[in-house]
DNA sequence: CTGTTAGCGCGTTCAG
DNA sequence: CTGAACGCGCTAACAG
């Protein structure tokens, strides 16, 4: 017997009456009808063209073209076990350090079907754990997480995520899955060694807030001083967790969630004042990040302290303003954009079927030696 | 009689045999079964609790709690006509101007079911149009777009999007739907007027690249000069579109897509050198953005030009480093974080059923008068 | 206020 | 290499 259901495809009257929900967009069924094949064949032609004969593929491609068909991601995700989302967890949106990473991530997914989803952990491991849970529900195509300080539970979830998990912006012997980043310890050590080589002896350390991540830098600084026989704990200056810096515009604080901004030039100026008050013999400072270094430079200018003669200044990350300052500011250069880009590239490779590759990739930190630390008088930029 | 179906809850053997696909996560059906109601009732209790009686709601909430049920977003989006995505289109991820906006956006969706999706238009209106098309396919809950220079086609699509569309970071009499932002023209005019009031007469304009957006600032600058009888077209300095500034790290360029960075201190220094070479009588510069102003300050320091006596410097946006510079730098303060936050708040209000409200909200630009333009000697910070 | 029914658009399973 | 049938989890539409 003929189908009990009335024929649907031919009559345009039917066509208009036929849809009850959904918008007018063409579906895979429309493409299939036009190409004279089954929907599944269209699906295959789209996801893995090698599964379909050349002739059919051609016809299907033409039908897709003609109809302007675009797959519905929700339907695809619902029906399959994987989505096309790459989840990216970063601790802050206000630091350009991480927005540089994001630029790399976005450039990395460009031209692929992948979609980026960002989670802001606000330097809170519990919030990170919560976000991981939320992201993993969507069965992401891949995850990118910042640093190595995940909670044990977060780590466990990521290990069982069933997708590539790339840790970035730090380094470890024991990655969850794969880690691409650099050693904060090495960075802090190298910058401090540079200061020592230039002849500085009472080298202070300034940080707005020593997170676990930056504590690697602090440890590297301590190690370099210790190796040179110059340990000096009293030279370490950072705000206690209780300190609440003012915002440029207090109204910019969302209700109930203060924006803690520990990395501003103002904080740099204040910490530097505290540092020289505590030790007038201070002759250099290693700043935990560039923006603090900029503040220190301004404070030196305000107080008539000569840089680099009376005071050496070095930062960390090497943002573009460092080389343009007067005098130009030394810094430990990190490869943030590249880090984000490479993380996505690794994910794409693995989604493409490639094996995991090197589980640990250290991109290194390069000391940019500029005028602000040129006590030996070798440079002139 | 007892149910024909065997009891499901007690036997774990049944449990494992029962599912064919999908992961182990509880579904709305599980919640419904446990609460002894129909699935749709659970759906309603979750989406609009007022549709369900207090007693049932209680039971359902308990079942949700007990099972750890979390709705599947893909299924929800597929079945309904709206997703929970707020699409945000910004022209750049490398300028903190827009990452400040993003911070506000993310804080704004906090605690709501909304999800943020970011599109980077790279200052390309065609790319913006393409992204709008892509975003609208997902039937977003709302759209946030930067500026007012959408293509006619993009505008048409947004008008028919069927969701709140908020334009930000600019102002217009004729918003697509609703606009929350500020006038670049007013900002440019006000800052220039301030320079004139301070006694500067040969006021240059410096911009890395005059986009349509910043041309408002340029126009405001021109208007202020014209009103004071000081028009001076030769003082306008900006790079031509053909200019390609160097990157701090050339390797940071993704293949095939050069990163054009027109807003760096280095560019500011170069443009300022060109400006004083072209007109040695220059006594002040209005910089199209803060980071250029910082570069100008450094160049002045390098050349021994006194600020503010010999040269006034003003920027635009008022990033936090402006007040901490030495001398502190004047700027037109814009409310970027707030702008992102308010845009989301407007969307949430409307999703909650509120009417459109003011279609045009001007957040204003405030001139921060600091030492770098204090020729009259009134200030001392 | 609550339930029934019927899909949303796609991919998996299993059969050719 | 191709197809038919079914179901992913949820909600719109329409009853009661």
Q: pLDDT tens, B257-279?
A: 444 557 889 989 999 999 999 88
> Is A381 inside any structural domain?
no
CATH for A208? 3.40.50.2300
Query: What is the arrangement of strands in the sheet containing B85-90, beginning at the earlier edge strand?
Result: B115-120, B85-90, B142-146, B165-168, B178-181, B360-362
Of A16-25, A211-220, B47-56, B229-238, where does the model show the most confidence? B47-56
CATH for B54? 1.10.260.40
Are the beta carbons of B320 and A137 separated by less than 8 Å?
no
A337 neighbourhood in chain B, CB within 8 Å? 252
Phi, psi of A61 (to 5 degrees): -60, -40
Integer distance in angstroms from CA B22 to C1' D15?
Answer: 31
Distance in angstroms (rounded) separating the CA atoms of residues B136 and B117: 12
What does the pLDDT read at residue B377? 78
Distance in angstroms (rounded) separating the CA atoms of residues B264 and B243: 14
Distance in angstroms (rounded) separating the CA atoms of residues B293 and A201: 35
Strand-pairing partners, residue A368, are: A331
Same domain for B165 and B93: yes
How near does any CA of chain B get to the CA of A103, in Å? 6
Distance in angstroms (rounded) separating the CA atoms of residues B140 and B111: 18
> Is A378 inside any structural domain?
no
> Is A214 inside any structural domain?
yes
How near does any CA of chain B get to the CA of A19, in Å? 13
Same domain for A246 and A205: yes
How many domains does chain A fold into?
3
Range with the lowest mean pLDDT among A261-275, B11-25, B197-211, B358-372?
B11-25
Mutate to test the interface with A, among B337, B339, B381 (most CBs of A within 10 A): B337
B120-156 tens-digit pLDDT: 898 888 989 989 988 888 889 999 999 999 999 999 9
List CB contacts of A377: < 8 A, sequence separation 6 or more.
Answer: none
Same domain for A273 and A231: yes
Percent of chain B past pLDDT 90, that is, above it, reads 55
The answer on pLDDT for B238 being more than 80 is no
> Is A348 inside any structural domain?
yes
Are the beta carbons of B94 and A99 separated by less than 8 Å?
yes
Are the beta carbons of B117 and A115 separated by less than 8 Å?
yes
**Domain termination site, one of B44, B79, B114:** B79
Range of the domain at B246: 185-333
What does the pLDDT read at residue A239? 60
What does the pLDDT read at residue B381? 56
B264 at interface of A, judged by CB pairs closer than 8 A? yes
> Is B294 inside any structural domain?
yes
A137 neighbourhood in chain B, CB within 8 Å? 25, 70, 72
CA distances (Å), B37 to each of A56, A313, B54, B64, B166, in order? 48, 68, 14, 13, 40
A81 neighbourhood in chain B, CB within 8 Å? 23
How near does any CA of chain B get to the CA of A228, in Å? 32
Are the beta carbons of A138 and B70 separated by less than 8 Å?
no
Are the beta carbons of B320 and A265 separated by less than 8 Å?
yes
**Domain termination site, one of B55, B79, B103:** B79
Give me the residues of B, 277-306, that contact A with CB < 8 A: 291, 294-295, 298-299, 301-302
Distance in angstroms (rounded) separating the CA atoms of residues A329 and B108: 37
Distance in angstroms (rounded) separating the CA atoms of residues A171 and A178: 10
Phi, psi of B86 (to 5 degrees): -105, 115
B139 neighbourhood in chain A, CB within 8 Å? 23
- pLDDT-based confidence at residue B366 (cuts at 50, 70, 90): very high
Of all residues in chain B, the one with the smallest CA distance to A345 is B254
pLDDT tens sequence for chain A (381 residues): 233 333 333 333 333 334 446 677 789 988 898 889 888 999 988 888 888 888 888 899 898 888 888 888 888 888 887 788 999 999 988 888 998 999 999 999 988 888 899 998 988 889 899 899 888 888 899 999 999 999 999 999 999 888 999 999 999 999 999 999 999 999 999 999 999 999 999 999 998 876 666 689 999 999 999 999 997 777 777 664 444 444 434 334 444 444 455 788 998 999 999 999 988 999 999 999 999 999 999 999 999 999 999 999 999 999 999 999 999 999 999 999 999 999 999 999 988 878 888 999 999 999 999 999 999 877 655
Distance in angstroms (rounded) separating the CA atoms of residues A183 and B378: 48
Range with the lowest mean pLDDT among B66-80, B107-121, B254-268, B325-339?
B254-268
Distance in angstroms (rounded) separating the CA atoms of residues B11 and B15: 7
Same domain for B100 and B210: no
Distance in angstroms (rounded) separating the CA atoms of residues B372 and A134: 48
Q: Is the CB of A13 under 7 A from strand D?
A: no
**Domain termination site, one of A33, A52, A79:** A79
Of all residues in chain A, the one with the smallest CA distance to B334 is A249
Same domain for B178 and B189: no
Same domain for B139 and B25: no
Same domain for B245 and B113: no
Q: Which of residues 34-53 of A touch strand D (CB under 7 A)?
A: 37-41, 44, 50-53
DSSP letter at B329 equals P
> Is B65 inside any structural domain?
yes
Same domain for B50 and B94: no
What does the pLDDT read at residue B212? 65
Are the beta carbons of B74 and A70 separated by less than 8 Å?
no
Integer distance in angstroms from CA A38 to C1' D3?
Answer: 7
Q: Is the CB of B79 under 7 A from strand D?
A: yes
Are the beta carbons of A335 and B252 separated by less than 8 Å?
yes
DSSP string, B25-41: ---HHHHHHHHTS-HHH
Same domain for B178 and B262: no
Region B176-203: mean pLDDT is 97
> Is A380 inside any structural domain?
no
Mutate to test the interface with B, among A76, A85, A93 (most CBs of B within 10 A): A93
- pLDDT-based confidence at residue B346 (cuts at 50, 70, 90): very high
Task: Give me the residue label for tokens 């008068």.
Answer: B369
Are the beta carbons of A99 and B103 separated by less than 8 Å?
no
Give me the residues of A, 154-213, that contact B with CB < 8 A: none
Same domain for A226 and A147: no
Of all residues in chain A, the one with the smallest CA distance to B262 is A320
Phi, psi of B285 (to 5 degrees): -135, 135
Same domain for A290 and A252: yes
CA distances (Å), A361 to each of A127, A155, B9, B253, in order? 27, 19, 48, 20
> Is A173 inside any structural domain?
yes
**What is the pTM for the complete model shown?**
0.85
Same domain for B221 and B254: yes
Give me the residues of A, 41-80, that contact B with CB < 8 A: 70, 72-75, 77-78
Query: What is the arrangement of strands in the sheet containing B330-333, beginning at the earlier edge strand?
Result: B236-238, B203-207, B284-287, B312-317, B330-333, B366-368
Give me the residues of A, 6-25, that contact B with CB < 8 A: 21, 23, 25
**Number of residues assigned to chain A:** 381
């Amino acid at each position: 017997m003929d189908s009990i259901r009335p024929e649907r495809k031919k009559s345009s009257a039917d066509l208009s009456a036929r849809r009850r929900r959904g918008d007018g967009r063409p579906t895979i069924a429309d493409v299939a009808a036009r190409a004279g094949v089954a929907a599944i064949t269209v699906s295959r032609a789209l996801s893995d063209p090698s599964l379909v004969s050349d002739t059919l593929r051609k016809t299907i491609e033409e039908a897709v073209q003609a109809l302007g068909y675009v797959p519905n991601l929700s339907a695809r995700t619902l029906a399959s076990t994987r989505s096309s989302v790459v989840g990216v967890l970063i601790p802050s949106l206000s630091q350009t350090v991480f927005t540089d990473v994001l630029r790399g991530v976005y450039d990395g997914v460009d031209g692929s079907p992948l979609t980026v989803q960002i989670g802001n952990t606000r330097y809170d491991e519990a919030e990170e754990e919560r976000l991981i849970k939320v992201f993993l529900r969507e069965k992401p195509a891949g995850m990118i997480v910042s640093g190595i300080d995940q909670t044990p539970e977060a780590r466990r979830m990521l290990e069982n995520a069933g997708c590539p998990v790339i840790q970035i912006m730090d380094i470890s012997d024991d990655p969850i899955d794969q880690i691409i980043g650099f050693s904060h310890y090495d960075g802090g050590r190298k910058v401090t060694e540079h200061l020592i080589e230039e002849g500085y002896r009472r080298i202070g350390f300034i940080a707005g807030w020593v997170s676990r991540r930056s504590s690697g830098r602090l440890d590297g600084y301590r190690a370099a001083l210790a190796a040179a026989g110059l340990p000096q704990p009293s030279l370490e200056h950072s705000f206690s967790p209780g300190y609440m810096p003012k915002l440029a515009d207090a109204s910019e604080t969302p209700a109930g969630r203060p924006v803690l901004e520990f990395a501003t030039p103002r904080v740099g100026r204040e910490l530097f004042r505290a540092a020289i008050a505590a030790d007038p013999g201070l002759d250099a400072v290693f700043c935990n990040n560039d923006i603090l270094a900029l503040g220190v430079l301004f404070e030196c200018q305000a107080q008539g302290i000569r840089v680099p003669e009376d005071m050496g200044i070095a930062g960390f990350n090497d943002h573009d303003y460092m080389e343009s300052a007067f005098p130009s500011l030394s810094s430990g250069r990190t490869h943030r954009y590249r880090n984000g880009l490479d993380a996505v590239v690794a994910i794409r490779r693995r989604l493409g079927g490639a094996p995991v590759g090197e589980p640990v990739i250290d991109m290194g930190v390069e000391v940019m030696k500029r005028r602000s630390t040129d006590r030996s008088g070798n440079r002139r930029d």
